[in-house]
Amino acid sequence: MQEQASAIAVDPVAGPTTATAAPAASVHAPRRRKMTFNWRGLVSIAVFFLAWELAVRLRLPGFHELPGPITVARVLVQDFLYSPGYWESWAISFKRVLLGFLFAQILGVPLGLLLGTSRRFNAIVFPVFEMMRPIPPLAWVPLSILFWPTNEASIVFITFIGAFFIITINVYDGVKAIKKEHLWLASSLGAPRLTVFRRIIIPAVIPSIAVGMTLGIAVTWNVVIAAEMIASDSGLGRLTWEGYVSSTLPVVFVGMISIGVAGALSTWVVDVIEWRMMPWKRR
Amino acid sequence: MRDTLNGTSYQSGSARPSSGKVSIRNVSKIYDPEGARVVALDNFSIDFAPGDFLAIVGPSGCGKSTLLNILAGFDTLTSGEAYLDDELLASPDKPPRPGADRVVVFQQGALFPWKTVLDNVTYGLIKQGLVGRKEAEERGIAMLRSSGGLDRIAGSYPSQLSSGMQRRVEIIRALINDPKVLLLDEPFRAMDTVNKSTMHQHLLNIFRDNPKTIMFITHDLEEALYLADRVIVMTTRPGTVKLDIKVDLPRPRSREMMASHAYIALKEQTVMAVREEAQKAFERGEREMA
């Protein structure tokens, strides 16, 4: 990445009055992405699974009840990959994450903008916000179950809580960090007040919204899995937990791997969205 | 029109702009008047004529930037008045109002990072509704091109440019609005010597081709003497005028000039005043620490 960045940087001393044609090519040159294959990574993954398999076969302390990766893979393929129930667990967890995450964005982003821009609103709302923010999402489980009519709503709510405070506080910090020079210049150059809000504050907080998204999606997966274990009869979290209570340990591993893959997929989607949101940050 | 051969540049020609007269009368600025009462500016007065290149030098915290912010319409003043072309710009009763007739270039750089170079440059023209987007872009491209072929980076984002390049774009963003006064707040502070001197030459070229009232704030005396027609040395807080020196050095100026007797004499004349104030500021800093 670093090498690419320097490749597109522009020659600083191009002479004040003489047009130089040479650096032009480097500015608009298509950015070559060097895809070097990380063979070391592949080796270390292989070593990881080998060590795991060996540890199980040699019955090392702590490993004697655990299945090895070969067993887990067999169970995954035979009992899960072709079972609609397994994919239903995926769908259910994804739906909960998506709903919680979206509600958190829809409410968190405007709230963060308001907290950052209106002094009065901030004075009224921020203390309550700060009072609630340190409460961990899982501490909301009992209350949530009592409050919401359905189990589904309560799980989505807990997921929402996980992302909401993070997203809001990031947007709020983003507004506070806006360079006053940007606001000044915008009004100097003739932008009316409302335009300053729309055209300066909003793009200026987009990087903070992106940070909120990255952190938010990670937290929603954490929270949804825990909430499913405690309060649900479906989803990937439940699948994992059932593997444990029914002493079918390969299922626990299948659950864990599925959650890992699901989280990675969501992070990847969020990264793509962020990349699209910020054309000026592309390198 | 302009006679650049005999070295006096615009002063001998007719290129002096007709507008851009600034007068600052008895301006004071007190931060936190109820509490700490920090007097940033104390009864500060200067006048400068259209087309003056004025540099203001002083130790950090002497109220240079406060003065600039008052002129730009970013900050209020406690007493006094400021006029632009005999029109009241700022007074204690008048809420500060920024305008495209006096655009600032800041020391940290304030290009909008989410906009391309061209969109940054055309922002003012479009926002003021002076011209349509198409014409604004044509003008922007023309202006970038005439500024050392910068039109080749019109589609780049500021983060892809060097700091010198960014500052040049910023100066164009200000100049395209044809401001009466160009306010420069230590624009080259964070640059290394080579970049800085390239930028100096660039600014002098701009000033030659398109003379404007310029207020250049700096803490670098050499830079001030090299660029300006007039150098104001400010006292440490509360800021007032300590020295007001006419820099009668011929234009176009070059680095070689810095070895001339006239330049050295000017420098000797001013350097003590600047040192004195810097020392005072330093000692007060010490006292405040103790």
Q: Is A17–B159 a contact, with Cβ atoms under 8 angstroms apart?
A: no
Which tens digit of pLDDT belongs to each residue from A161-184?
Answer: 999 999 999 999 999 999 888 988
Window 167-206 of A, Cβ < 8 Å to B: 179, 181-182, 184-191, 195, 200, 203-204, 206
Contacts of A187 in chain B (CB under 8 A): 98
A34 vs B279, which has greater pLDDT?
B279
pLDDT at site A87 = 94
A216 pLDDT higher than 70: yes
Contacts of A182 in chain B (CB under 8 A): 110, 112
**3-class secondary structure, B46:** strand
Record the pTM: 0.77
B79-84 and B87-90 strand pairing: antiparallel
B160 in A contact zone (CB under 8 Å):
yes
B212 in A contact zone (CB under 8 Å):
no
**Could you identify the residue written with the tokens 């992302």?**
A163
A14 in B contact zone (CB under 8 Å):
yes
Query: Encoding tokens for residue A264?
Result: 């990675």
A4 in B contact zone (CB under 8 Å):
no
B53-57 and B181-185 strand pairing: unpaired
Q: Which residues of chain B have pLDDT under 50?
A: 1-14, 289-290
Q: Is A181–B112 a contact, with Cβ atoms under 8 angstroms apart?
A: no
Q: Select from A23, A195, A280 the Cβ nearest to the Cβ of B157.
A: A280
Query: Encoding tokens for residue A124?
Result: 């009224």
Q: Is B160–A24 a contact, with Cβ atoms under 8 angstroms apart?
A: no
B255 in A contact zone (CB under 8 Å):
no
B230-234 and B53-57 strand pairing: parallel
Mean pLDDT for the stretch of residues A48-56: 94
Window 152-171 of A, Cβ < 8 Å to B: none
Q: Select from A184, A280, A281 the Cβ nearest to the Cβ of B74.
A: A184
A224 pLDDT higher than 60: yes
Q: Select from A10, A21, A204 the Cβ nearest to the Cβ of B165.
A: A10
Q: For residues B101 and B177, give the distance between their C-alpha atoms in angstroms, rounded to a whole number.
A: 7
Dump the DSSP string for B227-283.
H-SEEEEEPSSSB-EEEEEE----BS--GGGGGSHHHHHHHHHHHHHHHHHHHHHHH
Q: Is B155–A28 a contact, with Cβ atoms under 8 angstroms apart?
A: yes
Which tens digit of pLDDT belongs to each residue from A241-261?
Answer: 999 999 899 999 999 999 999
Q: Is A15–B156 a contact, with Cβ atoms under 8 angstroms apart?
A: no
B13 in A contact zone (CB under 8 Å):
no
Window 250-279 of A, Cβ < 8 Å to B: 278-279
User: For residue A224, which amino acid is it?
Assistant: V
A6 in B contact zone (CB under 8 Å):
no
pLDDT at site A283 = 63
pLDDT at site B21 = 86
pLDDT at site B15 = 65
Query: Encoding tokens for residue B117?
Result: 């170079």
Which of A8, A20, A185 has the highest number of chain B CBs within 10 A, making it the mutation to test binding with B?
A185
Which tens digit of pLDDT belongs to each residue from A127-169?
Answer: 999 999 999 999 999 999 999 999 999 999 999 999 999 999 9
pLDDT band at A28 (very low <50, low <70, confident <90, very high): very low
Contacts of B106 in chain A (CB under 8 A): 181, 185
Contacts of B74 in chain A (CB under 8 A): 184
pLDDT at site A32 = 53
C-beta of residue B51 within 8 angstroms of C-beta of residue B11: no
A238 pLDDT higher than 60: yes
